[in-house]
């Protein structure tokens, strides 16, 4: 599953990281591939680093991927991070035809290594890395902030996903999840209504509020339900509800 939005700061990485933590507690073996040069997911999940880098997913063979992860994934629940690295920036100078097939093959090799699911974080741009991720994926999820710039960009995101389906017919759009929602902000309420009217089939029914405890969790490398604050309980409930929705749609126990 790919987390994608061309607008930065919308809660994309926070969503993906918490899906990984939730899946781990469900007893699953989770691979996380960080294709964002900002490396925020890599920072939060650094204790789970596999030693393999994201740029290697574009320039090494599937046999090399299998060889690296042979023995890395056992029957035990785990998270294994393929971390962002500086060489990822070079991918955007290449043509999708050069790297897309290689990345798709290497994601398949990761799956063959024993992971129950693979989560891919992407940069906030409609570039080669995002296109390659969408070509390789089964599902895509788009966290969206209820602000004007984020909403303006979502049509391009929806169009990009539709275009990629020509190369990857199996790709399913799980939908958009409102993130960093401020229930006291009338603008957020108005924008949410506009989105639900414009995309009634694409809006995920769950919401994640504007919670400082989520930022605390990301900085500490733990899920929000391990933050000892009263406000974290509400955030944990929202994130858990989103995970249940997403995993049910993906048919993952």
Reduce the DSSP state of residue 8 to 3 states and report it: coil
* 136-180 residue pLDDT tens: 999 999 988 877 777 777 778 888 888 888 889 999 999 988 888
Residue 228 to residue 145: CA distance in whole angstroms: 26
CA torsion through residues 39, 40, 41, 44, sign: positive
Strand partners, 31: 80, 118
Residues of the chain with pLDDT under 70: 253
Give one DSSP letter per residue of 171-235, joined into a string: -EEEEEEEESB-TT-HHHHHHHHHHHHH-TTTB-S---B--HHHHHHHHHTS-GGGS-SHHHHHH
- The phi, psi pair for 76, rounded to 5°, reads -80, 145
pTM, 2 dp: 0.93
What's the pLDDT score for residue 140? 95
Check: CB of residue 97 under 8 Å from CB of residue 9.
no
Check: CB of residue 13 under 8 Å from CB of residue 121.
yes
CA torsion through residues 206, 160, 4, 111, sign: positive
Give one DSSP letter per residue of 11-62, joined into a string: SHHHHHHHHHHHHHHTT-EEEEEE--TT-HHHHHTGGGEEEEETTHHHHS-H
Reduce the DSSP state of residue 1 to 3 states and report it: coil
Picking from 120, 70, 125, the residue whose alpha carbon sits closest to that of residue 92 is 125
């Amino acid at each position: 599953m790919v987390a994608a939005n061309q607008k930065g700061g919308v809660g994309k990485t926070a969503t993906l990281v918490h899906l990984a933590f939730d899946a781990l507690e469900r007893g699953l073996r989770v691979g996380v591939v960080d294709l964002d040069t900002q490396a925020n997911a890599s920072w939060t999940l650094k204790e789970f680093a596999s030693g393999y880098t994201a740029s290697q997913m574009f320039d090494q063979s599937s046999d090399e991927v299998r060889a690296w992860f042979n023995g890395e994934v056992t029957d035990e629940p785990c998270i294994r991070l393929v971390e962002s690295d500086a060489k990822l920036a070079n991918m955007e100078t290449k043509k999708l035809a050069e790297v897309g097939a290689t990345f798709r093959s290497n994601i398949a090799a990761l799956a063959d290594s024993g992971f129950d699911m693979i989560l891919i974080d992407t940069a906030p741009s409609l570039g080669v890395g995002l296109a390659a991720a969408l070509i390789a994926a089964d599902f895509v999820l788009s966290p969206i902030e209820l602000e004007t710039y984020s909403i303006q960009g979502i049509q391009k995101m929806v169009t990009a996903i539709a275009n990629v389906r020509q190369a990857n017919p199996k790709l399913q759009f799980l939908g958009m999840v409102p993130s960093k929602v401020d229930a006291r902000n009338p603008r957020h309420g108005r924008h949410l209504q506009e989105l639900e009217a414009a995309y009634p089939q694409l809006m995920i029914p769950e919401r994640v509020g504007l919670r400082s405890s989520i930022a605390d969790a990301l900085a500490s490398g733990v899920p929000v339900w391990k933050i000892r604050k009263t406000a974290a309980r509400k955030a944990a409930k929202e994130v858990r509800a989103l995970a249940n929705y997403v995993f049910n749609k993906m048919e993952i126990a």
